[in-house]
Each structure stands twice: as C-alpha cells, then as structure tokens.
Amino acid sequence: MIRVLIADDEDMIRTALASLLRLEEDLEIVAECRSGTEAVDAALRVDPDVCLLDLEMPGLDGVEVAERLHGRIRARCIVVTRHARPGVLRRALRAGVEGFVPKSRRAEEVADIIRRVAAGRRYVDPEIAADALSDERSPLTARELDVLRAGRRGETIAQIAAALHLSPGTVRNHVSSALGKLAVSSRQQATVVAQERGWI
C-alpha cells in the first residue's frame, strides 16, 4: 500500500484527484493539504511514501516544500504545475524532487506516476525534459534568486534583508547584480522576467 499526501490550494482539483486516487486499490491518501506550510507539517507527522505537491500554492510553493522535506523524511516528492517551464524543472530537481508533472497531463496518468516514483524511479515529463536540455539556464546565483523571491510581492529592501537575515546593503548588492544580468532596471521588472522564465 502506497501512502500518499496531496497538497493543492485549489479544492476542486485536489478533491477530484484524491477521489480518483482513492479508487486505486494500492494507494491510500493519508493527508490532504491546502497550503505549503500545512503540507510540511502533515508530511512530518504522517510520514507518507509519496508527496504530490502543487507548485502554485500560497506561502510555500511545492518546490519549497520538497526542499524542506528533503533529507528529513523518506517521502519522495512529485511536483505538479500548471505552467511547466524548463527553469522550474531545474529548480525542482535541485530541490531533490523525484517527479515532475504538468497539469496538461491527464489525471489517469497520475496514479501510474505515483507508483513509479514510489518504486524508486524518477518521472519527468518528457516534453519539458526535452525543452530543459535545449534551454538556457538561469544566470543568477542562488542568493540573487533568494533576494528576488523574497521581494516578489513588493517588499522593501529592509524587509527582504530581515527575512533573509542579511544587511540591507548586501541585499542591494545582490539586487543590483541580478538587475545587471537580466538587463532591467528595477526589482519589479526583474521578478517579472524571472517568473516568466520559471526561475522563481
């Protein structure tokens, strides 16, 4: 019996998937979560075999959840996303994710992907994988991405600095460096292009 955690903030898709997966005799849904933080808590508590994580969630997104779980529990993570881009895939793989599925796949395939990942294999959507090979990687360093991510809702430099436990000056240096690489001139523009390319 494969024990599965599902996290998606959209009730309709989450409950629909859960109902379908419950019909499978070898799968058991042990947790349904509607946010990233909820998913982390639940995963640490119930210790599932597989986590099916939506990427777009309030608070922590799917990849961030996988990062936090990676190494702490044995669960293997599958990230599901609406906008599948090569950059997101890379970020997910770096976070130790074992499965990557765009929502343009059919729901029927999800059960098989869960079984596959539970069996220790990986699953990466073939189309996205092909794109990822041919596509340019983010020129931004980890810290530069952190800073943009922490400021993506218009937070001030001071707030970003506090959130990342950095000095404001350091934050501005990272920002400035990122702006140069992206050839833009404001943080807001930088977050827009970074999001479009799936780097955040």
Site for a copy of itself in 19-38 (CB under 8 A): 19-20
Element (H, E) at 165: none
**16: contact with a copy of itself by CB under 8 A:** yes
Q: Is 192 in the site for DNA (CB under 7 A)?
A: no
Residue 167 engages a copy of itself in binding (rule: CB under 8 A): no
Q: Map residue 29 onto helix, strand or coil.
A: strand
CB atoms within 10 A of CB 163: 15
Q: Which of 11, 46, 12, 16 is nearest to 30 (CA)?
A: 46
Burial label, 171 (beta-carbon count in 10 A; 0-12, 13-18, 19+): buried
Interface pattern 141-160 for DNA (x via CB under 7 A): xxxx-----------xxx--
Can residue 73 be called a binding residue for a copy of itself (CB under 8 A)? no
Interface residue with a copy of itself among 1, 12, 119, 133 (CB under 8 A) is 12
Q: x/- site string to DNA, residues 113 to 142, per CB under 7 A?
A: ----------------------------xx
By CB under 8 A, residue 157 contacts a copy of itself: no
Three-state SS letters, 52-114: EEECCCCCCCHHHHHHHHECCECCEEEEEECCCCHHHHHHHHHCCCCEEEECCCCCHHHHHHH
Binding of a copy of itself at residue 154 (CB under 8 A)? yes
Residues 86-105 that bind a copy of itself (CB under 8 A): 103-105
Residue 195 lies near DNA (rule: CB under 7 A): no
Residues that bind DNA (CB under 7 A): 141-144, 156-158, 166-170, 172-176, 179-180, 185-188
